[in-house]
Chain A
């Protein structure tokens, strides 16, 4: 009776992490020779991991990365401040811009001219000077009392 060991391809499948056929998997579980081939390869791979860095090296590299990261974050804080200041300026100017852009009411020139004519026709001086000036230049006649013209 001949024992059918795993072929190279089947062994490679095992090493890669793929599933074997049920028959091959059953053989592997019971065959010392095939398991030794698999384990021999994995042991050799494991031995190459002996050159893993020690904890001190790992910590040093990690800390350096974290420090550089923290530094770059701090360096960018001024960008946030500038952005905040710019936003504040824009908000402050917004009402002005709005009023500039807002449509202005149309003036009814005919009505204005009519009103001006009306004022001038009633009292030309009052239309051109403040009330106190008018009072000084042409005081209104007093009504009633001793000096009354009536």
Chain B
């Protein structure tokens, strides 16, 4: 069950005073979103676990800056997104290209096909769709990839993404619309 904002504010207050248990609860609740965002925003081969750990440490050290106006999860994901952006900028990496070379057999989503229709053709199509999605997300321009990751991998709504990236909701909609347009087209192409 997700924490209510008031609970999170209280937990953050306890953590700020050095309560390790409170800090642990906060991290545990939102770490999956941080993992997902880091995995999608950093290039393959990058130390995702290191990025997540650094995100958590930055958050814990900066608890004084958490005002409680938004969710703790959104705040944490914002730190993760900024950290990934910093790493990419520092290493002068362009938005990363996937290392896999186009054949979608590299993907492993066997379970994507509904259990009632486990035909091999559908399995292959599902693999292809997921592989296309991964590649297309990786090819998106940085900003579009960010909003896509925050929406679909971190589960933030439009307002949450806007708050996380410190932009207005209209800007988020524009980037997200373009991103979804591209990714959906690629997915549908792979699974007509």
Q: Which residues of A contact B (CB under 8 A)?
A: 8, 11-13, 15-18, 37, 40-41, 43-53, 57-58, 60-62, 64-66, 68-70, 72-73
Interfacial chain B residues near A41, Cβ < 8 Å: 183-184, 187-188
B187 touches A66 (CB 8 A): no
Q: Are B56 and A58 in contact (CB under 8 A)?
A: no
Distance to closest chain A CB from B162 (angstroms): 12
Q: Which of B3-11, B32-40, B67-75, B89-97 interfaces with chain A?
A: B32-40
With a CB–CB cut-off of 8 A, which chain A residues contact B49?
53, 57, 60-61
Q: Classify the secondary structure of A's interface with B.
A: helix
A18-B60 contact in complex given A40-B188, A50-B109, A52-B32, C-beta closer than 8 Å = no
Evaluate whether A47 and B23 lie within 8 angstroms (CB atoms) in the complex, with A16-B151, A40-B188 already known. Answer: no
The contact size tier of chain B is 35 or more
Interface of B is mostly: helix
Report the separation of the CA atoms of residues A50 and B152 in the bound assembly, to the nearest whole angstrom.
13
Chain B contacts with A in 50-67, Cβ cutoff 8 A: 52-54, 56-57, 60-61
B32 adjacent to A45 (CB under 8 Å): no
Q: Nearest Cβ in chain A — how far from B96, in angstroms?
A: 15
Which B residues are in CB contact (< 8 Å) with A52? Answer: 32, 35-36
Q: Inside 8 A of B191's CB, which chain A residues have their CB?
A: 40, 44
B56 touches A62 (CB 8 A): yes
Contacts of A69 in B (CB 8 A): 23, 56-57, 60-61
